[in-house]
Structure 1
Amino acid sequence: MFDTALWYFPILIFVFFNSYKINKLNAKNKLIASNIDLQLERVIRFLEDNGGNHVSHLILLQDKDVYWAAEDQVLIVFKRIGNKLVVLGDPIGVESLIPKSIKEFQEYSVSNGLKPIFYQISPRFMHLYHDTGYRFLKLGEEAIVNLANFSIEGKQGAKLRTRVNKFTRNSYTFSVIMPPYSKAVLSELKGVSDAWLGNQKEKGFSVVSFSDEYVSCFPVALLKDPEGKILAFATLASDHKKSITIDLMRKLPESPHGTMDVLFIHIFKWAKENGYQNCSLGMAPLSNVGDCKYSFRSEKFFRLAYLHGNSLYNFKGLKEFKSKFASGWEPKYLAYRETFLPVVIIQLLLLINSTPHPKSVVDKIKYLMKKTG
């Protein structure tokens, strides 16, 4: 992605050193946020009461920390890298207290000698960040399916309808299973995930990764072949507001052409039947970024990465796949202030490409199973 920008390499070396060196903070500047697994049950209850956002389910990856703002009525999820506290998504909680929470987290960060960055914020609250002195960079767009209007009928849905009918005729089956899962089921899911990954490694922070503990927190949609073997699966995360997200998606490399199309269509039907109104397909990175002649230089640079960076990441392919289903797109932004943007971008890449290391979550799983029982 940064192959054509050689001047980034000295910055990368600087950022890498500063991101991983041991910081000796004195008592005044000590970071006091609690690790997520110490209060996960509290977080889950808070999300059930207040709803979440498009990335709140990623809290269960357990690679982030939380900050309770506005007298514990607003939840901010973040991770530290170098001198930055990178917040994932918008603050969650009482909407009237969101402005206060943004200012509070800003003051908290500065008091500890750190800089806050808000990653993947929505347009809904951009004016609040603007009022607190933040600048913006468009990151991409989230694909959203309006389940009430989605259909594969008619001429427009002919290709998708043909694929679904073909899989049905050939005795492929769809189902949604609920936790808790047996060791055998988790082992088969892991086998599919490992085959899909190949030589790649799992990512973290804003990108979901496979672990038995994480998968065990959600319903899982399955597509099986005629012999009952799992060909593809997806975890289904809810924001508790009639919206659902197709989260962790994996398939066997040898699965038939159109496998994921068929899995998605079945998920849309299942979600609609179960009272959901919208389904998120996640963000298409760099989608419609820098495609105007008046765009910022930084966004025009990312446009080049989108057009010519497919050897590193299939930006265009991901956008095209999600476009087959999406009925709307919501832009997502980076909010930053008083910092050198190239450094921030590299730090984000380091965060996302760091392998997550989930901790033991037996108590969490028991709590979640009790809630779904």
Structure 2
Amino acid sequence: MFGTTLWYFSILIFVMVISYKTIKLKTKNRLTPSNIDSQLARVIAFLEENGGNHISHLILLQDKDVYWAAEEQVLIVYKRMGNKIVVLGDPIGPESLIPQSIKEFQDYSVRKGLKPIFYQISPRFMHLYHDTGYRFLKLGEEGIVSLHSFSIEGKQGAKLRTRVNKFTRNAYTFSVIMPPYSQAILSELKGISDAWLGNQKEKGFSVVSFSEEYVSCFPVALLNDPDGKVIAFATLASDHKKSITIDLMRKLPDSPHGTMDVLFIQIFKWAKENGYQNCSLGMAPLSNVGDCKYSFQSEKFIRLAYLHGNSMYNFKGLKEFKSKFACGWEPKYLAYRKTFLPIVIIQLLLLINSTPHPKTVVDKIKYLMKKTG
């Protein structure tokens, strides 16, 4: 028994080392300063015309590669990890071309000797992946706020309403600013971000990270104290379909209790006034995964991480915070083909925890992201 366990452990360590080296060395196809005009600007223009999905704004982290499918009418964003190609979200483009695009990318991956994995896909297209031979693992749920129905009035919203009123009485102010930003405001936001991170390091791929270049591409919501000092901020990403996402969120460690509650509620109010219909709160990882006695064994195993990994990742705390606001939850899945699932999970963790490498030449495309609708 011990020998078998040791053998599995050795294999997993080997996979981790190879995968890590792949992240460090595989860079030649990324969006680099040399091809930014022909790639990144093209991607953003495509998203403005066709709309995006719940995580398409993360393309601007510039740590991923792009593949144009269906005669360049569909966008697929991915990153290589070991012998896997991990696609971020569903393909983006005309819905009628999505089936063709999934099959095309599958063929492309096979020719490269790699295995494609689609990370955080939506239920809407699951039947298309199924028809191409994919299996599924639930990853968590995306919290969604219906801006027309969300309210802090009445008994149910009493606590949140009390917090908003308290901050207002104490002269805290809310605003949304638009790029381009001065170096002074970017430095102030970086200071808040650094204080919030503490000894932690930034994550990447499917998790947003702070860089002045990335922040400069979006509207930023600010909460200021009575002296005008910014105590919390959030970048606001739009899918150009009347939906907005609260993206990068940071606050000072000594900010008053309820700071993020107030920031979120003010963002909802602002978004509704500016014509948005929905606001995404992002993922609650592992939420409602494997909690049914009929769930797959792999999902029951992941459930243990949700129950016992809270001290490290605060899965339950994140779900509880977002549940204050969410009007509904949409499940997100991992779509994978024949592969050893534990290794896939380890590779994904390495990918998310790898240091992001945003590029520095984005001035030419910042103006494309100034719009908020």
CA distance 1:154–1:171, change in 2 (3 Å): same
1:181-330 counterparts in 2 under 5 A? Answer: 181-330=181-330
SS in 1 for 2:313: coil
**TM-score with structure 1 length normalisation?**
0.93
CA contact (8 A) 2:30 2:62 kept: no
Q: 2-side partners of 1:255 and 1:6: how far apart?
A: 47
Q: Which residue of structure 2 aligns with residue 152 of structure 1?
A: 152
Whole-angstrom distance in 2 between the partners of 1:63 and 1:95: 26
Q: 1:242 to 1:369 in 2, by over 3 A?
A: closer
Corresponding residue of 2:85: 85
Deviation at 1:304, TM superposition (A): 1.2
For the structure 1 residues 183 and 85, does the alpha-carbon distance in structure 2 shift closer, same or farther, using more than 3 Å as the test?
same
Q: Quickly say closer, same or farther: Cα 1:276–1:258, change in 2 above 3 A.
A: same
After TM superposition, the structure 1 = structure 2 runs for residues 115-130 of structure 1, keeping only pairs within 5 Å, are 115-130=115-130
159-168 or 7-16, which deviates more:
7-16
Q: Check whether the contact 1:192–1:251 (CA below 8 A) recurs between aligned residues.
A: yes
Residue in structure 1 matched with residue 48 of structure 2 by the alignment:
48
- Aligned-pair CA distance for 1:307: 1.1
- Equivalent residue, structure 2, for 1:176: 176
SS in 2 for 1:92: coil
Partner of 1:67: 67
Residue 15 of structure 1, CA deviation: 1.1
CA distance in 1, matches of 2:286, 2:50: 30
Q: Distance in 1 between matches of 2:371 and 2:272?
A: 22
Question: What secondary structure is seen at the aligned counterpart in 1 of 2:312?
Answer: coil
What is the number of equivalent residue pairs in this alignment?
362
**Bigger shift: 298-307 or 154-163?**
298-307
* Aligned-residue offset at 1:159: 0.2
Aligned counterparts of 2:167 and 2:325: Cα–Cα separation in 1: 18
Query: Aligned AA for 1:99?
Result: P
Give 1:14 shift: 1.7
* Contact 1:36 1:64 (C-alpha < 8 Å) held by counterparts: no
Work out whether residues 172 and 226 of structure 1, in 8 Å CA contact, stay in contact via their aligned partners in 2: yes
**Equivalents in 2 of 1:370, 1:274: separation in Å?**
14
Q: 1:149 to 1:18 in 2, by over 3 A?
A: same
Alpha-carbon distance between aligned partners in 2 of 1:298 and 1:6, rounded to the nearest angstrom? 21
Rounded to whole Å, the distance in 2 between the matches of 1:363 and 1:187 is 17
SS in 2 for 1:93: coil
SS at match of 2:168: helix
Long gaps (5+) in structure 2 = none
Q: Which residue of 2 aligns with 1:161?
A: 161
Aligned residues with identical type, % of pairs: 86
Structure 2 letter corresponding to 1:138: K
2: CA distance, partners of 1:84 / 1:161: 47
Q: Is the 8 A contact 1:76 1:92 kept in 2?
A: yes
For residue 361 of structure 1, report the CA deviation from its aligned partner: 1.9
Q: Residues 7 and 219 from structure 1, CA distance in 2 versus in 1: closer, same or farther, beyond 3 angstroms?
A: farther
Distance 2:66 2:60 in 1: 12
Q: Does structure 1 conserve the Cα–Cα contact (< 8 Å) formed by 2:234 and 2:248?
A: yes
Cα deviation, 1:19-63, whole Å, max 9, x if unaligned, reads 24479xxxxxx9995636621000000000000000000000000
Change (3 A) 1:60 1:31: closer
> In the alignment, is the contact (CA less than 8 A) between 1:246 and 1:280 conserved in 2?
yes
Counterpart CA distance in 2 for 1:357 and 1:282 is: 22
CA RMSD of aligned residues (A): 1.9
Unaligned runs of 5+ residues in structure 1 are 24-29
Q: Check the 8 A contact 1:40/1:364 in 2, yes or no.
A: no
